[in-house]
Amino acid sequence: MTLTALAAEPSCYSAFVNEWWCAQYVEDRRDDIVAATTEHLQITVAAVLLGLVLAFPLALVARRFPRLESLVLGVSTGLYTVPSLALLPLLVPFTGLTATTVVIGLGVYALTVLVRGFLDGLRSVPDDVVESAVGLGYGSTRLLLKVQLPLALPVLVASMRVATVSTVALTTVGTLVSYGGLGDLISHGVQRNFRAELVTAAVLCVVLALILDVILVLVQRVLTPWTRTAGR
């Protein structure tokens, strides 16, 4: 096929046209785009959930033993300073070139925000409410689950929103181990100067972050109906 024939093809993402936005590319590569978006979403959700599971006991330890709070916050913040280019390869010998490597790495990064979120949320519970619950016979576990955590939800969800949005962006670095979701498309687009692929993946990252943020806001409104009543 001649160069003239190739240039005449009705593909706006051909090497001769290479437009920044191309609906034809989205249609032709729909399966690849859906698969990358699904992988991106799964890794993001799994990483944030892992971060929550790790942050909760760390925050409780820091809350129970004030002398350890600086250590817990220092370690969780220090881990965030480790570059992903170093952290992910360090995990590969243990978890291999798998999505698990990315999930663990991003879950560790999320601790910086989530540990502080738990601590700030627990501190936001009024002391008189806690004293009233203790006076009614609430034990420490019941007090935490029935009083403190529900009242701390607005602050905790706010920290989850920050952690989730940042994780959506950081998931793209998973391309280092071939599990970067939309990051794989972005990397491919950069390497091949494939503008339509690059822009499509970048836009989907932003859309995914916005959708997850809205979902968390709606979840907060459902779980904390008293905040809506108080605002009226």
Domain that holds residue 161: 32-222
Q: Is residue 95 part of a domain?
A: yes
Query: Does any domain span residue 134?
Result: yes
Evaluate whether residue 149 is within a structural domain.
yes
Cβ atoms within 10 Å of 222's Cβ, excluding its own: 9
- Residue 80 falls in which region: left (phi positive, over 0), alpha (psi -120 to 50) or beta: alpha
> Is 36 within a domain?
yes
Give the number of domains in the chain.
1
Tens-place pLDDT, residues 126-138 = 888 877 877 877 7
Residue 48 lies in a domain: yes
We report the CATH number of the domain holding residue 148 as: 1.10.3720.10
The whole-number pLDDT of residue 210 equals 95
Q: What is the pLDDT of residue 15?
A: 64
Cα dist. 112→78, 79, 160, 213 in Å?
Answer: 8, 8, 11, 18
b/e per residue, 97-121, with b = 16+ CB within 10 A?
eebbbbbbbbbbbbbbbbbbbbbeb
pLDDT digits (tens, 9 = 90+) for 76-118: 888 888 887 778 888 888 888 888 999 999 999 999 899 999 8
User: Does the structure show a pLDDT above 90 at 225?
Assistant: no
Tens digits of per-residue pLDDT, 141-172? 888 888 888 888 888 999 999 999 999 988 98
pTM: 0.86
Q: Is it the case that residue 175 has pLDDT exceeding 50?
A: yes
CA distance 164 to 169: 9
Position 232 pLDDT exceeds 70: no
Q: Is the pLDDT of residue 222 over 70?
A: yes
50: confidence class by pLDDT, cuts 50, 70, 90 = very high
Share of the chain above pLDDT 70, in %: 91
Find the radius of gyration of the CA atoms of the chain: 23
Tell me what the pLDDT averaged over the chain comes to. 84
Distance of alpha carbon 80 from alpha carbon 75, whole angstroms: 9
Q: How far is CA 126 from CA 12, 61, 92, in A?
A: 60, 20, 45
- Say if 4 falls within a structural domain: no
pLDDT of the residue at 1: 44
43's torsion region: left (phi>0), alpha (psi -120 to 50) or beta? Answer: alpha
Q: Which two tokens stand for residue 201?
A: 């993946």
In a domain, residue 204? The reply is yes
Distances (CA, A) of 127 to 13, 122, 132: 61, 10, 9
